[in-house]
Amino acid sequence: MSLVLHFDDEAGLASSLAEALGWSAAPILSHRFPDGEWKLTLPARLPARVALLRGLHQPNEKLAALMIAAPAARELGANHLTLVAPYLAYMRQDMAFQPGEAVSQRHVGRALAAWFDAVLTIDPHLHRVSTMDEVVPRRRGIAVSAAAEIGRFVAGRVPGALLLGPDEEAGQWVTVAAAAGGLDQGVCVKHRNGDHDVHVSLPGLALQGRAVVLVDDVASTGRTLVEAARAALAAGAVTVDVAVTHALFVGDALAQVKAAGVRHVWSTDSVPHASNAIPVAPLLAAALCGPDGPAQAPGRP
């Protein structure tokens, strides 16, 4: 028997994942003491193979809980322990840009490697690191992409759409999504002056009368999507929609995107959000049970 272990706030995705796998699912019960410390209660006995589902949006308290839950799971019988983190945090800081800056990707990755035998995630925000194996050294790191699912979804909702990446980094997702949906594509150029100060240049494509869908891996402040949407509409696009893997939409970001003229916003359910429209449980299940998945990797002695 194998088990999907989860926290209460991810029970829905855990149930879908367990059903797709043919596994059982069980919760980790949590209690917060008045001083903010966690008390976690796991099932009294665990099977040898456990997938611990924990998305790492708003990551800081969740990482503290994982630091407790992972060794507890091993004490209770888990021999092979996979972290399933649909969204994986602390990936953008992959080098020191100024003297003394902590390279958070490196340090969080090493911590996860110490706690888990494998880490599975969706569309991690990697720049100068090419594979997840570099993020979680000496453990199995697996990244799968929701881009093809997004492309097929968009093709069904907006036939003949032009998929547009709001910046160069989005090009890899746009290419896969366009191929899966049989759609045209293009990529904008982003000029960033700060976290909230960006300018977007459109590619040399005719947008007049086209239905445009902006495709990206993550929407956080939404500023790049806002600028790309405004530029596309100014260039004659008849509609602009947005499809992303991870819908973070910090603060009033979603309202700002809508105010820029975006018609629909769609996302996967990797991060719980009102825009969720594309399920990731089948994608995660296939990665867990495939011939190269983490379920095939040996556990710890």
Active site residues: 190
Backbone angles phi, psi at 71, to 5 degrees: -65, -30
Strand residues in 183-226 grouped as ranges (E): 184-187, 189-194, 197-201, 211-219
CA distance 256 to 273: 16
Distance of CA 292 to the CA centre of its chain: 20
CA distance 251 to 230: 20
CA distance 226 to 26: 40
Task: Tell me the two tokens of residue 37.
Answer: 């410390």
What radius of gyration do the chain's Cα atoms show? 20
Q: Which residue carries 């829905």 as its tokens?
A: 12
CA distance 227 to 248: 18
3-state DSSP assignment of residue 205: coil
Is there a contact between 195 and 218 (Cβ–Cβ < 8 Å)?
no
- Transcribe 81-141 into DSSP letters: EEEEESS--S-S--S-SSTT---HHHHHHHHHHHH-SEEEEES---SS---HHHHSTTSEE
